[in-house]
Amino acid sequence: MNTERDDAGRGTGEVTIKAQAERRTPEAIAWSGVGIVGAGAVGTALGVAISRSGWPVVAVVSRDATRRHRFCTLVPGARAFVEPAAISDVADLIIVAVPDDTIAEVAAQIRLHSGQAIVHTSGAVDAEVLTEAVMEGGAMGGFHPLVSFTSDVERSVAGIAGATIAIEGDDRLAKLLAALAEAIGGSTVRLPRGAKAAYHAAAVLASGGLVALLDAIVALGSTAGLDERVSLAVFGRLMEQTLANVRGMGIAASLTGPVTRGDVGTVAAHMAALEAQAPDVVELYLATARRQIRIAEERGTLSPNQAARVRRVLAKER
Ligand SMILES: NC(=O)c1ccc[n+]([C@@H]2O[C@H](COP(=O)([O-])OP(=O)(O)OC[C@H]3O[C@@H](n4cnc5c(N)ncnc54)[C@H](OP(=O)(O)O)[C@@H]3O)[C@@H](O)[C@H]2O)c1
């Protein structure tokens, strides 16, 4: 079923997607099937998730015979190609899932026709990197699942359910991508042009940044005699409560602590302890303290004088 396709119908407005996928696809869109370029972590997991959702995945491009075979075993009906150029002959929605730095090079080998679309899965790169593929028509966009994909395909597929998928593209493409995201269990955010890098930086802060923060917390815990497991239990509980507060009351109302009260003596004691016992945590403490001062000032609970005193204590330690 997956390879069934009406060539004459492409780009004419006829709906050619079969069975279940036909009901889930916006009526105005005429996609005959999805093709994936790159059978790595993201390409394979998306191929499996999309296929299982009932949308036809008709092709994969991979330079590696083992990965091509694995993809076709996991996604019955998909045809495998070595060259990216072949994919626009069989698929109308092409998902490029290759390393960020190679997206443009891969897109340059693909020529879309009117009615087809190409997207990539990078969270950091704008859709314009696909421009060469759409010279003769077609649409370009982005489809970035906020998921940590690994070589464990099933774990990666499971991670897609409930995840946010950032989509980019014109209205028609965005409608299709939103339907696809919904079909695989995701919810969408639509990013305006040029917003990708900031969005991705936020994601990196939310994941890698949180891990780095926890690493510093555990380091401080160890100077207080707590091992990693105990520190994560003790401070993790506080973090969970704080996250719940932020979700419930918003950022400004959830901020507590000596910085927000203007307790300069306590802040000075923290800085002295950090300099003496964990100097590599000082930068992180300073950066977050300065951000806290700003929040407290903006909500009006820290006066300009108090804020200046806290800033002086922080600056003295540098
Ligand atoms: N991993 C994540 O958690 C994650 C999450 C969201 C988004 N992303 C994004 O998804 C994209 C793919 O990431 P990934 O983690 O799936 O990478 P990956 O596991 O390394 O897979 C990349 C795929 O691209 C192919 N490829 C590599 N270099 C190529 C080249 N020069 N020309 C053509 N194909 C090439 C690979 O080789 P073969 O052709 O030999 O198969 C492989 O199939 C990236 O843009 C990444 O930013 C990743």
Q: Are residues 206 and 186 in the same domain?
A: no
pLDDT confidence of residue 192: 82
In a domain, 26, yes or no: yes
- Of 168, 192, 216, which residue sits at a domain end? 192
Q: Are residues 229 and 150 in the same domain?
A: no
Give the pLDDT band of residue 316 (cuts 50, 70, 90): confident
From the list 97, 69, 71, the residue with the least C-alpha distance to 84 is 97
From the list 139, 123, 103, the residue with the least C-alpha distance to 196 is 123
pLDDT confidence of residue 118: 97
In a domain, 171, yes or no: yes
Please tell me if the CB atom of residue 289 comes closer than 6 angstroms to any atom of ligand 1: no
pLDDT at 174 over 60: yes
Ligand 1 geometric centre to CA of 189 (Å): 22
Judge whether 75 and 60 are in contact, CB under 8 Å.
yes
The C-alpha atoms of residue 2 and residue 54 are separated, in whole angstroms, by 10
Q: Which residue has the tokens 């109308």?
A: 92
In ligand 1, which atom is closest to the CA atom of 120?
A: 45
Q: Are residues 67 and 142 in the same domain?
A: yes
The C-alpha atoms of residue 142 and residue 119 are separated, in whole angstroms, by 5
In a domain, 3, yes or no: no
Ligand 1 geometric centre to CA of 279 (Å): 38
From the list 197, 205, 152, 175, the residue with the least C-alpha distance to 42 is 152
The C-alpha atoms of residue 55 and residue 21 are separated, in whole angstroms, by 5
Q: Are residues 139 and 225 in the same domain?
A: no
- Of 141, 169, 192, which residue sits at a domain end? 192
Angstrom distances, CA of residue 200 to CA of 107, 119, 124, 203, 206? 22, 17, 5, 5, 10
Which residue CA neighbors atom 45 of ligand 1 most closely?
Answer: 122
In a domain, 9, yes or no: no
Q: Are residues 179 and 64 in the same domain?
A: yes
Please tell me if the CB atom of residue 207 comes closer than 6 angstroms to any atom of ligand 1: no
Q: Are residues 116 and 238 in the same domain?
A: no
Ligand 1 geometric centre to CA of 38 (Å): 6
Burial degree of 186 (CB within 10 A; 0-12, 13-18, 19+): buried
Please tell me if the CB atom of residue 148 comes closer than 6 angstroms to any atom of ligand 1: yes
Q: Are residues 181 and 218 in the same domain?
A: no
The C-alpha atoms of residue 143 and residue 126 are separated, in whole angstroms, by 11
pLDDT tens readout for residues 57-95: 999 999 999 999 999 999 999 999 999 999 999 999 999
Give the pLDDT band of residue 30 (cuts 50, 70, 90): low
In ligand 1, which atom is closest to the CA atom of 42?
A: 16
Q: Are residues 45 and 183 in the same domain?
A: yes
Q: Where would I find the H helices in the chain?
A: 19-24, 41-52, 65-74, 103-107, 153-160, 171-183, 196-204, 210-223, 228-249, 251-254, 258-261, 264-277, 282-299, 304-316
Please tell me if the CB atom of residue 151 comes closer than 6 angstroms to any atom of ligand 1: no
Please tell me if the CB atom of residue 99 comes closer than 6 angstroms to any atom of ligand 1: yes
Tell me which of 51-60, 110-119, 139-148, 190-199 is least confident.
Answer: 190-199
Per-residue tokens: 37 = 């370029």
Please tell me if the CB atom of residue 85 comes closer than 6 angstroms to any atom of ligand 1: no
Q: Are residues 183 and 255 in the same domain?
A: no
pLDDT confidence of residue 106: 98
pLDDT confidence of residue 31: 61
In a domain, 151, yes or no: yes
Ligand 1 geometric centre to CA of 150 (Å): 11
Q: Are residues 227 and 306 in the same domain?
A: yes
Mean pLDDT value across the chain: 89
Q: What is the pTM of this model?
A: 0.78
| End-to-end Cα separation, the chain, in angstroms | 67
CATH of residue 252's domain is 1.10.1040
Burial degree of 278 (CB within 10 A; 0-12, 13-18, 19+): middle
Q: Are residues 69 and 166 in the same domain?
A: yes
- Of 131, 163, 192, which residue sits at a domain end? 192
pLDDT confidence of residue 254: 98
The C-alpha atoms of residue 74 and residue 284 are separated, in whole angstroms, by 45
Domain limits at 261? 198-314
CATH of residue 21's domain is 3.40.50.720
pLDDT at 230 over 70: yes
In ligand 1, which atom is closest to the CA atom of 124?
A: 47
Which residue CA neighbors atom 2 of ligand 1 most closely?
Answer: 149
Between residues 74 and 17, the one the model is more confident about: 74
pLDDT at 268 over 50: yes
In a domain, 5, yes or no: no
Which residue CA neighbors atom 9 of ligand 1 most closely?
Answer: 122
pLDDT confidence of residue 191: 85
Please tell me if the CB atom of residue 285 comes closer than 6 angstroms to any atom of ligand 1: no
Ligand 1 geometric centre to CA of 42 (Å): 7
Residues in contact with 205: Cβ distance below 8 Å, sequence separation at least 6, in sequence order? none
Count of domains forming the chain: 2
In a domain, 239, yes or no: yes
Q: Are residues 26 and 151 in the same domain?
A: yes
Q: Tell me the backbone φ, ψ of residue 93, rounded to 5 degrees.
A: -120, 115
In a domain, 249, yes or no: yes
